[in-house]
Amino acid sequence: NRTLFFDQLSKSLELAASKNGILAVLFLDLDRFKYVNDNLGHDVGDRLLVAVAHRVRRSVRNVDCVARLGGDEFTVVLDELDGPAAAAAAAQNICRVLAAPFQIDGHDIFVTSSVGIAMYPNDGTDVSTLVKHADTAMYRAKKNNSGFQFFEASMEHSISEHVRMESDLRRALENEELDVYYQPQARLDTGEIIGMEALVRWHHPIRGVVSPVEFIPLAEETGLIRPLGDWVLRTACTQLKRWMDMPDMPRLRIAVNLSVKQLLQSDFATAVETVLANTGLPADLLELEITESTLMENAIDTLEALHRLRNLGVRLSIDDFGTGYSSLSYLKRFPVDIIKIDRSFVRDTPSDADDAAIVTGIIALAHSLRLEVVAEGVETVAQLNFLRDQSCDILQGYYLSKPIPAEKFEPFVLSRAHFKLDGFASEAISADTT
């Protein structure tokens, strides 16, 4: 299919060149296909791909070429077009027909698609360039959640920038440009600081502080997430053990975020065990966080990995809870100890009845399963009071403190180890945490 596609595209380009015509190459990728494979099985996944191919085929003209390049990627060649508008209409139609549910083995399966468009001759005049540019546009469509996207020359700059950022991140790991900041957590009933979340920061020599939103996906894509994740885990555990050896410091726990690529490494549990052994940190003081979406999209593999970690004695938590698609039956299957409510729900709880109901329900659900609840992104007295009324367990957010560097964390804890909740705001906001 792949070879036939490239042959057909080559012939179409020859024809377009001879007639001074216009054609489009569409590059299509299914969103969340891995979730279907992981949770419904590869047989259902294979039949879904066949059904997708049939729908795409029916959504374009008989003269157009449709091919599956591999995995969940499809390409379409639209010959003899009047202009870009016709390509946009075709892409929009493909997205529309694929949005309707697929019924396979009694399952209603919902998938969405991202489509990139490259136009001949404006975006390229040969097979490899057009396919590459359509692929580039598809990734932009996926990133922007826009359905489809035309290729633009500026995307080439983005790719060059991407390569440069990868090189810079490799250098940052070698040159100690990375740092770990710590955001305190406190119990809502007593005001006692019980732990912190470790958050990586990148101090780029030219760009300044680079957001984790930018470099964590880059690290995952380039394979740097393993050395980066290992460094964060080792640094965080080493620092907490150092604090625990201080006579005046209370017993604290530390939460470290995991990416799916870290978690699903076959030897990751061994790596965690090695870090704990080398640092001397008790396993129950380490909390490993995985996002709800990661948990559900890789359910089978994730379940096995979590059990291996649980056997070490570490705590496990679900981060950003409420943003994914968990059900009670799924939640009961996973060996987790803690649920962290996403800040997007916490933000409007005092004024939005729907968010208030969601947060109330999450807390009740978690407590019924004997799970601890952490509310992230708490910034106001109104949010704090609402969460306290719902018997939420732990507070994290700027109302208590920004993430702060290690040298400021110890004095922060020692000066605020026991205090009234009403004392959070005035002290935290005035604290020098920049």
For the domain made up of 171-430, the CATH class stated in words is: alpha beta
Where do the domains of the chain lie? 2-151, 171-430
CATH topology of domain 2-151: Alpha-Beta Plaits (3.30.70)
Name the token pair of 363: 């807390």
First vs last C-alpha separation in the chain: 56
pTM of the model: 0.65
Tens of each residue's pLDDT in the chain, 434 residues: 778 889 999 999 999 999 999 999 999 999 878 777 767 788 888 999 999 999 999 999 998 999 998 778 899 999 999 999 999 999 999 999 998 888 988 888 888 899 999 999 999 999 989 998 998 899 888 877 888 999 988 776 666 666 777 888 888 888 778 999 999 999 998 889 999 999 999 988 777 888 888 888 888 878 888 889 999 999 999 999 999 999 889 999 999 999 888 888 889 999 999 999 999 999 999 999 998 777 777 677 888 899 999 999 999 999 888 655 445 556 778 899 999 998 888 988 888 898 899 899 989 989 999 999 999 999 999 999 999 999 999 999 999 999 999 999 999 998 876 555 554 443 443 333 33
pLDDT for residue 423: 44
